């Protein structure tokens, strides 16, 4: 028999069903709490709230486990391609060879972006942050597909392909323009990651040679970022989509959420922090002390801590090793890598960080790899967005297929009680 949870309030007892997921995480089902008791729950930051049932990604923060559709992240990062992982997340199973060929061919064919989108892009100042531009242009994409009437999603698979295909194209525009270089059109004979690299780095005046080391490193990074269950940006995508907003608007909102420095924007902050430590003489202990006094200094160690991981972040483990490999294969000597390692060691041996279970997260070492690949700092979070796109799509699709109700939290009102209105002349 299923367990129930008993709640006694105001001298009355109520019982609520409990439920258990396939990986044994347990929950109280309080869907009828307010109807039965007149109470709501208060859970700032949703630290204890399961907003949905989902079959996409499993993570165990205590054990440092991350799985997409039941496959270990370590296996996928070592053996799969990013587009295979995208298919897995979105459609639930690894593709057969035929399914993959069809999927990959469709993505290849949709990389070109409507020329009128360029006019919108041209209106942004050269100094615009590429995340703001990306979010705006993804939102603008909805204007180019009139079949997207709200609530009518007949062409969902096509929109999914369009998003996967066009996001890298749009992403490269900001970088090219920041250098005063012409933007590149996609070349559809190239695979997904080489095509992106070619748009980023090739110039009309000379050939760009795509380095397989760079392709492999990006493949791993994109896979590691591809989904992370109900994080801030994914919850945003699901919440916006729950009003039946179209997929472009929902994902554009997710990109905005990702931009924040406490979420995906941390990867840019990490490199800026490491650079500042270097410029300040490289004394990591000074910065560990500042972070310990966050309440007075307002300084946090970016790339450290995670809402869910309280042991280690399995993605950070893979990325740390990849950083060493990639830098040595490319012959890059980045002094910031040593500062990062020193900072990690100092923090991991410090009581403040031990007590609070603060470990390096996915963003701590990723920027060092991006930098070694030639990707500029203000594009780091854009790289995260390209990686996270399949996860957002999968979560948006699942939310729609599960016919989830519109997301609408409650509140505990703490404002003024009813007051009498005084006309302006009498105030
Ligand atoms: N440096 C110093 N202290 C920290 C840090 C940090 N990076 N992170 C958390 N703490 C401290 C807090 O001050 C708090 O201390 P207290 O109990 O004395 O008040 C305690 O650890 C718990 O921190 P919370 O902020 O309550 O934890 P929460 O789960 O809400 O936040 C978060 C998680 C936002 C990731 C936080 O650890 C953080 O700000 N980290 C730095 C930014 C970052 O790297 N973000 C990327 C996360 S991964 C991602 O989104 C892709």
Protein residue closest via CA to atom 49 of ligand 1: 263
| 304 ligand 1 Cβ < 6 A | yes
Residue 301 Cβ inside 6 Å of ligand 1? The answer reads yes
Residue ID of nearest Cα to ligand 1 atom 9: 305
Is 110 one of the annotated active-site residues of the chain?
A: no
Q: What is the mean pLDDT of the chain?
A: 95
Separation of 270 CA from ligand 1 center, angstroms? Answer: 14
Residue 306 a catalytic site member: yes
Residue 363 beta carbon below 6 angstroms from any ligand 1 atom: yes
Query: What is the distance in A from the centroid of ligand 1 to the CA of 305?
Result: 5
Residue of the CA atom closest to atom 20 of ligand 1: 356
Centroid of ligand 1 to alpha carbon of 125 (angstroms): 33
pLDDT of residue 151: 55
Alpha-carbon distance of 356 to 418, in angstroms, equals 43
Residue 393 half-sphere exposure, CB side, CA atoms within 13 Å? 27
Task: Look at residues 213, 133, 238, 136 and name the one whose alpha carbon lies nearest to residue 177.
Answer: 133
For ligand 1, whether the C-beta of 240 sits within 6 Å is no
CA of 355 to the centre of ligand 1 (A): 13
pLDDT-derived band at 87 (thresholds 50, 70, 90) equals very high
**For position 153, what pLDDT does the model report?**
54
**Residue 262 beta carbon below 6 angstroms from any ligand 1 atom:** yes
pLDDT band at 183 (very low <50, low <70, confident <90, very high): very high
Backbone conformation region of residue 374, classed left if phi is above 0, alpha if psi is from -120 to 50, else beta: left
Q: In which band, very low, low, confident or very high, does the pLDDT at 150 lie, cut at 50, 70 and 90?
A: low
Catalytic: which of 110, 159, 306, 313? 306
Answer whether 0.85 is exceeded by the pTM. yes
**Ligand 1 neighbour 307 (Cβ under 6 A):** yes
- CA distance linking residue 258 with residue 232, whole number of Å: 7
Q: How far is CA 71 from CA 57, 96, 171, in A?
A: 9, 16, 29
Distance 255 CA to ligand 1 centre (A): 21
Please compute the mean of the pLDDT values over residues 198-216 and round it to a whole number: 94
Task: Indicate whether 186 pLDDT > 90.
Answer: yes
Query: At what angle are helices 266-279 and 380-401 packed, to 10 degrees?
Result: 160
Beta-strand pair 12-20/26-28: antiparallel
Q: Is 209 helix (H, G, I), strand (E, B) or coil?
A: coil
Distance from Cα 290 to the centre of ligand 1, integer Å: 14
Q: Is 361 in the pocket of ligand 1 (CB under 6 A)?
A: yes
> What pLDDT is attached to residue 88?
98
In this predicted structure, what is the pLDDT of residue 17?
96
| pLDDT tens per residue, range 295-331 | 898 899 999 999 999 888 999 999 999 998 999 999 9
**Ligand 1 pocket check for 302: Cβ under 6 Å:** yes
The pLDDT tens digits of the residues spanning 243-281 come to 999 999 999 999 999 999 999 999 999 999 999 999 999
Express each pLDDT in 157-177 by its tens digit: 999 999 999 999 999 999 999
Does residue 152 surpass a pLDDT of 80? Answer: no
């Amino acid at each position: 028999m299923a367990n129930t949870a008993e709640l006694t309030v105001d001298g009355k007892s109520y019982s609520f069903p409990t439920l258990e997921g396939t990986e044994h995480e347990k929950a109280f089902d309080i869907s009828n709490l307010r109807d039965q008791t007149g109470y709501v729950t208060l859970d700032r930051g949703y630290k204890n709230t399961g907003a949905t049932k989902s079959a996409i990604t499993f993570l165990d923060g205590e054990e440092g486990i991350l799985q997409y559709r039941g496959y270990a992240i370590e296996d996928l990062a070592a053996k799969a391609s990013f587009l295979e992982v995208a298919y897995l997340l979105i459609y639930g199973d690894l593709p057969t060879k035929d399914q993959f060929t069809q999927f990959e061919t469709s993505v290849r064919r949709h990389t070109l972006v409507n020329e009128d989108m360029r006019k919108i892009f041209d209106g942004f100042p050269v100094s615009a942050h590429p995340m703001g531009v990306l979010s705006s242009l993804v939102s603008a994409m909805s204007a180019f597909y009139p079949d997207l009437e709200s609530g009518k999603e007949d062409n969902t698979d096509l929109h999914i392909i369009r998003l996967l295909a066009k996001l890298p194209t749009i992403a490269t525009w900001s970088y090219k323009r920041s250098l005063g270089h012409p933007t590149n059109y996609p070349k559809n004979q190239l695979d997904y990651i080489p095509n992106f690299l070619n748009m980023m780095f090739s110039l009309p005046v000379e050939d760009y040679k795509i380095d397989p080391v760079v392709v492999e490193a990006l493949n791993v990074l994109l896979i590691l970022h591809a989904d992370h269950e109900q994080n801030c940006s994914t919850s945003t995508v699901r919440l916006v989509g729950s009003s039946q907003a179209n997929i472009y608007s929902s994902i554009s909102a997710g990109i905005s959420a990702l931009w924040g420095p406490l979420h995906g924007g941390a990867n840019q902050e990490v490199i800026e922090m490491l650079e500042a430590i270097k410029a300040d003489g490289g004394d990591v202990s000074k910065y560990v002390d500042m972070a310990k006094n966050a309440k007075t200094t307002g300084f946090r160690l970016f790339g450290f801590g995670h809402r869910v991981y309280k042991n280690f972040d399995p993605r950070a483990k893979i990325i740390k090793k990849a950083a060493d490999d990639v830098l040595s294969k490319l012959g890059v000597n980045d002094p910031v890598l040593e500062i990062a390692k020193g900072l990690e060691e100092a923090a991991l041996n410090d009581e403040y960080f031990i007590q609070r279970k603060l470990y390096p997260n996915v963003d701590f070492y990723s920027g060092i790899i991006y930098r070694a690949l030639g990707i500029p700092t203000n594009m780091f979070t854009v790289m995260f967005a390209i990686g996270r796109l399949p996860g957002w799509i999968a979560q948006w699709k699942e939310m729609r297929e599960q016919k989830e109700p519109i997301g609408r939290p409650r509140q505990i009102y703490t404002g003024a009680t009813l007051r009498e209105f005084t006309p302006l002349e009498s105030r």
